[in-house]
Amino acid sequence: MANEMTLTWMRPYALLLVATVFSIAGCAPRKPAHHELIVADGDILALSDSLEALIGDGRDTPADREYAYEIAHRRTDDTASVQFARAAITGRLVQQKGLLAADLVSDIERSARRSRELDPNFRNGAATRLLGTLYVMAPAPLLQHGDSETGVELLEGLAEARPDVPENRLRLAEAYIALSDPDPARSHLCFCLEHIGALRRDDQQLLAQLIANVGAPDCSRTKP
């Protein structure tokens, strides 16, 4: 079922064995379509936030994601914010490129794990949510320190700690459905429907896709 959904990190692409898709090291980054990314490129977290805002509104372009990656790839600061931003930006490029950028999955894993080590509470567990989703969605051979079971455990822990955050519940529901276990996802889908206004546009689309895959939950039977 996972291949039928719009997954967060890995979408099915043709199995083409292609060398790296990025610019030769040292070349200037490809100019992005949106100027706000250039304005934010001195602060990698701001750059990640700007890219996420474009993605959330459905306005991003391939050039935007490639530009953000080229800038982020040059930053190696060992802080929770920089490591999270590197993981998030790299993840968005992998989402776009699919298996053409599969070799970057280990970079996402490494940066997300490091962000959690430095500050597990950064942005209310943002790195945990990212890492848990990665472990569920990415092919196991591309990962070094976790698998789908680990991912579900991370997302369950985050949803228990912060059940008031719709995105936590959405990612956990996505994980259950991707693993062909939709029943425990239904209460989380109901919560997301109840708080749909708090979700970004792209997350609202993901919610609709998940419901289309498993059917509308009977929210009258779920616990508050």
Look up tokens 């689309």; give the residue.
205
What pLDDT, on a 0 to 100 scale, did the predictor assign at position 75? 84
Structural domain including 197 reads 2-221
Distance from CA of residue 92 to its chain's centroid? 7
CATH number at residue 110: 1.25.40
Structure confidence by residue, pLDDT tens digits, 166-220:
999 999 999 999 999 999 999 999 999 999 999 999 999 999 999 999 999 999 8
pLDDT tops 90 at residue 149 = yes
CB 60 within 8 A of CB 66: no
- Domains of the chain: total: 1
User: Quick one: average pLDDT of 99-112?
Assistant: 93
